[in-house]
Amino acid sequence: MTHYTEASIIEGIARRQNEVLEYVYNTYYPMVRHLVIYNNGTDEDATEVFQEAIIVVFEKIISNELDLNCSLKTFLYSISRNLWLQHLERINRQVSFEDIEKHLVLDESEMYDDFQFHRKRIYQKHFIALTEKCRRILELYFMNKSFDEIARVMGFSSRRYAIKRKYECAKSLFSRIYNDPEFKKIKS
Partner 1 sequence: MKIIYFDLIESFLNDQMSDAEVRKFKKSLVSDPELAIEYGRHMEIYKAIQDTEAIKLREQLVRIGREYRNDQDTKKSIVKDRKMIYWIAALILVLISLTVIVYRITNTIQVQDYVLETGDEDIYTMTGECRELMTVVARQENFTLIQPPDSAIYLKGQTVPFLWRSELGRPISLDILNRQGKLVVSFSKFQDCQYEYLAMGDKGVYMFRFRDGEEVIKVGIFYIK
Return the residue of 16, 92, 109, 181 that touches partner 1, per CB under 8 A: 16
Question: 134, 169 in Cβ contact below 8 A?
Answer: yes
Return the residue of 34, 93, 120, 152 that touches partner 1, per CB under 8 A: 120
Site string for partner 1, 144-183 (x = CB under 8 A): ---x---------------x--xx--xx-xxx-xx-----
Number of chain positions touching partner 1 (CB under 8 A): 38
Closest CA to 161 of 174, 152, 171: 152
Rounded-to-integer distance, Cα 44 and Cα 81, Å: 15
Closest CA to 138 of 124, 121, 117, 120: 124
Shortest Cβ 71–partner 1 spacing (Å): 21
Q: Tell me the DSSP string of 54-113.
A: HHHHHHHHHTT----SS-HHHHHHHHHHHHHHHHHHHTT-------S-TT----GGG---
**Of residues 43-102, those binding partner 1 (CB under 8 A):** 43, 47, 50-51, 54-55, 58-59, 62
Interaction site with partner 1 (CB under 8 A): 16, 18, 21-22, 25-26, 29, 43, 47, 50-51, 54-55, 58-59, 62, 116, 119-120, 123-125, 127-128, 138-139, 142, 147, 163, 166-167, 170-171, 173-175, 177-178
